[in-house]
Chains A and B, each alone.
Chain A
Amino acid sequence: MIRRPIKPGTRITLAIVSVLVLCGIYTLLSVRQHHKNPNDTTIPTWSQIGEGIKKSVTPQPGSGEIILWEDGVATYVRLFEGLFIAVGAALVFGIAMGCYAPVEAVLQTPLSIAAKIPPTAMLAVFFVLVGINQGFFIAMIVFGVTPTLAQAIYQSAKKDVPEELLNKAATLGASQGEQIWNVVFKQVLPRLIESVRLQIGPAMVFLIAAEYVVADVGFGYRLRLEGRKVNFNIVYFYLGLLGASGFLIDYALLTARRKLCPWFGR
Chain B
Amino acid sequence: MNSRTTKLFTTCAAALTVGAFALTSGCDNSSSPSESSAGSTTNAGDEAPPVFSLAWSEYPSWSVFGVAEMKGLINGKEGELGPVEKKWNVDIVLNETDYDTCINMYANGAVDAVCITNMDILNPSMGRTAVAILPTSTSFGADACIVTGIDTIQDLKGKKAYGLEASVSQYTFVRNLEIAGENPADYIFSNMDPAAAAQAMITQQAGYDAIVVWNPFVLETLKQRSDAKVLFDSTKIPGEIIDMVVAAKDSLDKPGGDRFAEAVIDTFYQLNEMLADPETGDETLVALGSKFSSLGLEKMKVVVEQTKFYKTPAEAKALFDSQELHTTMDKVTGFCKDYKIIEKVPAIAYGGSKDEPLTFTSQYIDAVMEAGE
Chain A residues, Cβ within 8 Å of B230: none
Residues of chain B with a CB closer than 8 A to A224's CB: 100
CA distance A40 to B248 in the complex (A): 13
A127 close to B196 (CB less than 8 A): yes
B165, CB-defined interface residue at 8 Å: yes
Find out whether the CB atom of A37 lies under 8 angstroms from the CB atom of B128: yes
Q: How far is the CB of A84 from chain B (nearest CB, A)?
A: 25
A215 and chain B: residue at smallest CB distance: B191
- With contacts A17-B12, A28-B24, A230-B104 taken as known, whether A40 is within 8 angstroms of B128 at the C-beta atoms is yes
Query: At the interface, yes or no: A248 with Cβ under 8 Å from chain B?
Result: no
Of the candidates B17, B124, B208, the one whose C-beta lies within 8 Å of that of A230 is B124
Please tell me which one of the listed residues A28, A41, A131, A227 contacts residue B20 in the complex, with CB atoms under 8 A apart: A28
| Secondary structure call for the A interface | helix
Known A42-B127, A216-B192, A228-B120: A131·B206 in contact at CB below 8 Å: yes
Complex Cα distance, B108 from A42, in Å, reads 6
The answer to the question of B353 belonging to the interface, with a C-beta cut-off of 8 Å to chain A, is no
Q: Mark A27-56, 1 if CB is under 8 A from B, else 0.
A: 011001100110111110000000000000
B4 — nearest CB in chain A belongs to which residue?
A4
Asked whether A25 is an interface residue with its Cβ less than 8 Å from the other chain, the reply is yes
CB–CB A230/B8 < 8 A? no
A106 within 8 A of B: no
CB distance from A35 to the nearest CB of B (A): 12
Within B179-216, the residues touching A (CB, 8 Å) are: 190-193, 195-196, 199-200, 203, 205-206, 208
Taking CB atoms, residues of chain A closer than 8 Å to B20 are: 21, 24-25, 28
Question: Are the C-beta atoms of B109 and A216 separated by less than 8 Å?
Answer: no
Tell me if A18 counts as interface (CB < 8 A to partner B). yes
Inter-chain CA distance A132–B192, complex, in Å, is 10
Whether the pair B166, A228 counts as a contact (CB closer than 8 A) is yes
Q: Is B222 an interface residue (CB 8 A)?
A: no
Q: Which of A21, A132, A225 contacts B205 (CB 8 A)?
A: A132
Give complex CA distance A8, B205 in Å: 57
Q: List the B side residues contacting A40 at CB < 8 Å.
A: 107-109, 127-128
A-B contacts, 21 listed (Cβ < 8 Å): A6-B5, A14-B12, A17-B13, A21-B20, A25-B23, A33-B109, A37-B128, A37-B250, A39-B127, A40-B109, A128-B203, A132-B205, A213-B196, A214-B193, A216-B165, A216-B190, A224-B100, A225-B166, A228-B100, A228-B103, A230-B104
Q: Which residues of A contact B (CB under 8 A)?
A: 6-7, 10, 13-14, 17-18, 21, 24-25, 28-29, 32-33, 36-37, 39-43, 124, 127-128, 131-132, 212-216, 221, 224-225, 227-231
